[in-house]
Amino acid sequence: MPHDVTLITGDGTGPELAAVARDVLDATGAPIRWDVQEAGLDCLQKHGTPLPDALTASIRRTRVALKAPITTPVGTGFRSVNVHLRQAFGLFACLRPCKSYRGVRSRYENIDLVIVRENTEDLYAGIEFARGTDELRRAYEAINAASTRKIATPPETTGLSIKPISVAATERIHRFAFQYARSHGRRKVTSVHKANIMKHTDGLWLEVARETARAFPDVEFEDRIVDNMCMQLVQKPELYDVLVLPNLYGDIISDLAAGLVGGLGVAPGANIGPDAAVFEATHGSAPRYKGQNKVNPTALILSGVLMLEHLGENDAARRLEQAVAATIADGRFVTYDLKPSRDDPTAVGTREMGQAIIRALRA
């Protein structure tokens, strides 16, 4: 039976990357039936919305999507399409493997980390109050009436953000991390927090983490304070395996971990919920390179590897990752960022690297 998959082409360099990733995934022989959908800036200019109803309807039907990068304007403009999809489809778990590949420039070797980030709560829940508004004044009054710790700064000069951490969401993401570790033969789960300072939010996170760990005695468990975790990853990343974090810390540490293996160009990602999953490259849309056939397709192709695993196409996933690794290690048919020098005249384009991976698959 073929797998129905929504292919979101994105904007900037997204359509180029989506086309190459589709060709490579088709070359694995996995039976995929694509439903191609648009989103982002290009879609906004054509249809007046960055997130058309046809796209959300497609994901509801297929329950699986591969998404090329989409621009999120800084400060102004439309709301993040990525965040909207996570919230609309309950994609509570963000999965970010960070793995060393021979041939990728990095100061580190043999890194093999998995970041599991809680997607729905924490400061990224978006519960914010703008300075000087009546809404903020009412929030000030309620907080000061209920707490012994008063907010002394005037509401005219202060913004306010609320950090919700619940038992249910915390247990769910830790259970996901432990089940992932168990099913993938991982040895340890590390829960990351700041419970020494935020005792009622991160303190709850740590308490629930410890309770959940008891149900998985076959997987080692430990916890780390987030600032110490950053230092540990820089100094001795080999000590860590699966890290599970609240939303904000997960966003930051997943980029740090990607830096250990050579950058976002080789960092795949997935957002997974009970009823749908969206697989995506974690880098941006690089609009300045649009149409230049220049950007590295590795991250989106490796996201396709995660998608194949999710679909149960484990043999195709294994062969595709091996083909990507072999192409990078060979070094002849890779984009400029994977060459020893970024000015190397032998660098190939996005499409040409995709074709090299297809040749490695067939070999």
The length of the chain in residues reads: 363
Active-site pick, 11, 122, 202, 251: 251
Phi and psi of 193, rounded to 5°? -160, 180
Active-site pick, 11, 67, 122, 124: 124
**Tokens for 281?**
């490259």
**Tokens for 235?**
């100094």
**99 part of the active site:** no
Which residues, including other chains, have CB under 8 Å from residue 186's CB and lie 6 or more apart? Answer: 114, 180, 219, 241, 242
**140 part of the active site:** no
Active-site pick, 26, 227, 275, 344: 227
Burial classification of residue 76, based on how many CB atoms lie within 10 Å of its CB (0-12 exposed, 13-18 middle, 19 or more buried): exposed
Q: Which of 166, 248, 162 is nearest to 208 (CA)?
A: 166
Asked whether 56 and 74 are in contact (CB, 8 A), the reply is no
Render 131-198 in DSSP notation, one character per residue.
TT-HHHHHHHHHHHHH-SS---S-GGG--EE-----HHHHHHHHHHHHHHHHHTT--EEEEEE-TTT-
Asked whether 71 and 82 are in contact (CB, 8 A), the reply is no
Active-site pick, 67, 99, 194, 294: 194
**194 part of the active site:** yes
Residue that has been written with the tokens 């009622």 in this structure: 200
**227 part of the active site:** yes
CA–CA distances in Å: residue 85 to residues 48, 64, 79, 123, 278: 18, 12, 11, 18, 8
Q: Which residues are catalytic?
A: 124, 194, 227, 251
